[in-house]
Amino acid sequence: MTKQKNLVKVSEGFILIKLKKMTEEQLKIEGKETTPQEALQPEEGRRRLSSESVEGLIKEAEKKMSEAKELIKSAKEQKVQGQGERANLYEEAATRYGEAAELLKSVGKSQEAAEAILHKAYALEEAEKTETNPENKTELWKLIADAHKERAELLKSVGKFQEAAEAIQLKAYALKEAERTETNPEKKAELRKLIADARKEGAELLEEAQELQQAAWAMRFSANELKEVAQAEKDPEKRAELYEEAATRYKEAARLHESAGNLEQLANARLEEAYALKEAANATKDLEGKSKLLRAAERAYDEVAKLYESAGKPNEAALVRVYKEEALKEVRKI
């Protein structure tokens, strides 16, 4: 009998140990700080503890934002000596805002986190204004771009597509400033490509927000940026790829113009697409690729001519056909 009781005790101990291990594993998966003992408490107790934890994290975030405001105030009131020290204060404030955003994100406060990130970007911009070293200025603009990107993602997660698109526009502006201060030609080219991609991202968000006309123009700006990157590219195959991608974006812009009911701009965007395809064909040394691009350019030119005819503009249609023959004849000679 005693042996049986001991066996029962051992079994109970084994089950408790196993349950404790299972609980620890589950907590690791869920990323919670709750101890196994707390997890074994009734559901209401756990809910109350969770609510208290959330409140504590929010208070901690508020504290960090208050500290950031004080740091910015000190920098603005010039309580410190030297530009470098002021820049450090602004950067420290940006760090506090970033930490506050992480805390807010951890409790599902995405919109509030986005607001904290906006303040972070502002603090970094103030740091950039006090910075005199060109390399440091470039790096700060990149950090500002990253902050606006993070803010856009947070706003997108709560369905604020218009505001997210505006955040991406600020990202593009920051990248443009980084490109302006960058001295390395290769890095400048990389930044120009990132600017073009940011414009495209903004266009996609504007489409989500049903701002179709704005989305169409944003996509065309993206294609224009990419075309400039292609013009500066020395490698012929990379140049061809960039022009081809620009053509794809012009075609997307045309689709958006059509959805918005702007048929004239639809035709103009398709004409830009045809030109980009022609330039891609002009760049590539691959004969099969060149032939394929030429056929695509021909189709695009013909479709543009038909669009002008449908709009009652026969003169424009005739000019497009003439331009098509001249442009493609030039490429075929190469």
Domain boundaries, the chain: 243-334
Write down the pLDDT at residue 238. 95
Report phi then psi at 132, rounded to 5: -110, -20
Q: How confident is the model at residue 23 (pLDDT cuts 50, 70, 90)?
A: very low
Separation CA 116–CA 122 (nearest Å): 10
Write down the pLDDT at residue 85. 83
Separation CA 282–CA 302 (nearest Å): 19
- 266 contact partners, CB below 8 Å, separation of at least 6: 254, 257, 258, 307
**Is the model more confident about 196 or about 82?**
196
Q: Could you read off the pLDDT of 160-187 as tens digits, one per residue? A: 999 999 999 999 999 999 999 999 988 9
Write down the pLDDT at residue 332. 65
Task: Tell me the two tokens of residue 134.
Answer: 């060109």
Contact criterion met (CB below 8 Å) for 243 and 227: yes
Measured CA distances, 204 to 171, 195, 249, 263 (Å)? 15, 14, 11, 20
Residue 38 pLDDT > 90 = no
Contact criterion met (CB below 8 Å) for 258 and 267: no
- 134 contact partners, CB below 8 Å, separation of at least 6: 181, 183
The closest alpha carbon to 131, from 97, 82, 70, 95, belongs to: 82
- 249 contact partners, CB below 8 Å, separation of at least 6: 200, 219, 220, 222, 223, 226
One-letter amino acid of 77: E
Residue 324 pLDDT > 70 = yes
Residue 48 pLDDT > 90 = no
Helix ranges restricted to H, the chain: 2-30, 36-39, 43-76, 83-106, 110-130, 134-157, 161-181, 185-208, 212-232, 236-259, 263-283, 287-310, 314-333
Concatenating the DSSP letter of every residue in 124-139 gives HHHHHHH---HHHHHH
Burial of 105 (0-12, 13-18, 19+ CB in 10 A): buried
One-letter amino acid of 4: Q
One-letter amino acid of 128: E
Contact criterion met (CB below 8 Å) for 311 and 262: no
Write down the pLDDT at residue 36. 41
